[in-house]
Amino acid sequence: MTEPDISDSPVGWVARHIRDYVRTDGQVGHRFHGRDALLLTTRGRKTGTPRRTALYYGRDGDRYLVVGSGGGEPTHPAWYLNLLAHPQVIVQVGADVFVADARTATPAEKPPLWQTMVAIFPKYAQYQAKTAREIPVVIIEAG
């Protein structure tokens, strides 16, 4: 995917974060408010358009972990619905850009991965408490 083909998040502060991250190969933006962030590009489930967002991440060995919290909203974030339809994604961590496969952690896998992510960003627990939906943990593995 070439840069002009990607549609960045429509949320203003997220779009600015992405622009800084891309412009500096992650020199600005990889650390965001004291936490590590990556850029995740999914393919739109309806349009097929590549869509990019920035997310805090954790690690589980070689795997990357992200959380589909959507701030505790009642519906899953669009990026998560996109990767359910098209699990092959593009990830940027710092200057490193790679193709990866993304999937939702199984119920058996989720508890320790959830704890890893809540330790990184404690508000995830608050988000889960305010919504009836199960907030997913996504496992990303380089392809």
How far apart CA 29 and CA 18 sit, in angstroms, is 7
pLDDT band at 143 (very low <50, low <70, confident <90, very high): confident
Give per-residue pLDDT as tens, 66-92: 999 999 999 999 999 999 999 999 999
How far apart CA 107 and CA 124 sit, in angstroms, is 17
Specify the pTM.
0.93
What pLDDT does residue 3 have?
46
Assigned token pair, 56: 């805090």
Query: What's the rounded mean pLDDT across residues 103-128?
Result: 98
Least confident range from 3-7, 82-86, 91-95, 100-104: namely 3-7
Is 3-142 a domain of CATH 2.30.110.10?
Answer: yes
How far apart CA 116 and CA 67 sit, in angstroms, is 11
Give per-residue pLDDT as tens, 20-69: 999 999 999 999 999 999 999 999 999 999 999 999 999 999 999 999 99
